[in-house]
Amino acid sequence: MHNLSVSAISRALAAGDFSSVEITQYLLDRIREEDTAYNSFISLAGDSALEQAAEADLRRSKQSDVPALCGVPFAHKDIFCTENLRTTCGSRMLENFVPPYSATMVEQMRAAGMVLLGKTNMDEFAMGASNETSYFGAVRNPWDTACVPGGSSGGSAAAVAARLVPGASGTDTGGSIRQPASLCGVSGLKPTYGRVSRYGMIAFASSLDQAGPMARSAEDLARLLELMAGFDPKDSTSIDAPVPDYAASLNDSIAGIRLGVPKEYFADGLHAGTAACVEEAIKTFESLGAKVSEVSLQHSRLAVPVYYVVAPAEASTNLSRYDGVRYGYRCADPKDLHDMYTRSRSEGFGEEVKRRILVGTYALSAGYYDAYYRKAQKVRRLIKQDFVENFANVDAIIGPTNPSPTFPLGEKTDDPVAMYMEDIYTIPANLAGLPALSVPAGLVDGKPVGVQLIGNYLEEARLLNLAHQFQLATDWHQLNPLTGGEQ
């Protein structure tokens, strides 16, 4: 039962093969037993999940026209506020925070009858690419538990790969959905900036943050995105555009579709095994009728430097709200207000978060604003323009998701800059606000690697169509880490 996809569970519930309560109970038991090996969950919903499942079963028995995913279990990254369910953002700062409301995206999935099983582990405040900065301990990769799952949505990726949940939400500020999807052999989509509401999603870097789905197939991503996406007046940067039926175009032919391969994405630093898998994937697309050509994203090499100004600057501003007054951690026995602010923040935040707050504060401080923040915003425009120019000639861009397969825990924790390079191929789409996804494209020494597709604004349907056709032609997405990479 745990191998069933979101779509398969939806069909089984409709056919009456089992109830939502049955699969919910089954997966809760499975998480309790198996997750000790991965640490992919921070909190389990327990009884409230069973109540939601019973409600879904009742709804299916009484209504003829229920939403397709009614009763399907799901997990949310612990960055999304969930009413009456602890939401920590992977931080000691929010260890005991119980939100009085749910994020808009959480509400939408709930309204469609999806059952919330629990909250997945993550890098603290989504700052990390290995899930080692979580206050609640590192997550382990189901393909090799000595290795990292990627991050920051590492808990969601590991839980989906380990068949603890059929799907989970993630957030992607610089690659935090796509990179862990790549390292764990699952599918993950970062939509266009503004496509999914940010209301109730704990803020990291507000001009980059975007929520999206993670699952074991592009078909599942399409069904999940349809529930997650939509205009929200409570998010001031939400896009007011209709949500298409993403599943409807999955089976369209991709013959004649123009794919651009950025030469900069195959330069030094790309693992030879990863490169071989991506090149093979490109050949598969050609065999399906896609027209492949080389393109240039000449400013993409500056994406990591630009990101490490913009994201820390926005984070230092967003995280100034944690002051020990209204919610979150407060130090013991503060002697005055200044002492309370300083000790609450110093004790509540972990090392990586503090480092980024310092870099961001520095970049925004008097005398450095123009040289760092303003300069980075200008180069950000150049990075976006590269994409805009290329999308006049190609329909999507294809390349590696990240430079190499998963690596051992601890390998990069002492070298922040080496860790930051994990996101070298994902960050450009965040800076430009474009949709992008990663799907499994092969194994290197028994460890999965992903291929990335980047699309034009609001063209999630095209990316999902391409990914689904790729998955009809390949079986990389069906390989199971629990059976040694067999299907």
Partner 1 sequence: MSVDRSDIEQVAELARLRIEDNSVDELVSKITSILGMIDQMQATNTDDIEPLANPLEASQRLRADVVSEADQREALQANAPATEAGLFLVPKVID
Q: Does 302 bind partner 1 (CB under 8 A)?
A: yes
Asked if 118 and 80 touch (Cβ cutoff 8 Å), the reply is no
Give yes or no for residue 349 binding partner 1 (CB under 8 A): yes
Q: Could you say which of 32, 283, 321, 381 contacts partner 1 (CB under 8 A)?
A: 381
| Cβ distance to partner 1 smaller for residue 251 or 346 | 346
Q: Which is nearer to partner 1, 37 or 325 (CB)?
A: 325
Of the pair 18, 327, the CB lying nearest partner 1 is at 327
59 in contact with partner 1 (CB under 8 A): no
Count of residues near partner 1 by CB under 8 A:
74
The residue from 236, 251, 293, 296 that contacts partner 1 (CB under 8 A) is: 236
Binding mask 193-212 for partner 1 (x = CB under 8 A): xx------------xx----
Task: Closer to partner 1 by CB, 60 or 356: give it.
Answer: 356
Q: Which of residues 392-451 bind partner 1 (CB under 8 A)?
A: 416-417, 420, 430-434
Q: Does 266 bind partner 1 (CB under 8 A)?
A: no
Taking residues 97 to 136 in sequence order and writing x for each that binds partner 1 by CB under 8 A, - otherwise, the string is: xxxx------------------------------------
CB of 369 to partner 1, least distance (A): 11
CB of 125 to partner 1, least distance (A): 14
Range 251-255, long-range pairs (CB < 8 A, 24+ positions)? 251/465, 251/468, 252/465, 253/289, 254/285, 254/288, 254/289, 254/290, 254/465, 254/466, 254/469, 255/288, 255/289, 255/290
Q: Which stretch binds partner 1 (CB under 8 A): 124-132, 196-204, 327-335, 444-452?
A: 327-335
* 237-250 residues labelled b (16+ CB within 10 A) or e (exposed): ebbeeebbebbeeb
Is 64 among the residues known to form the active site?
no
Site for partner 1 in 71-100 (CB under 8 A): 96-100
Residues with active-site annotation:
77, 152, 176
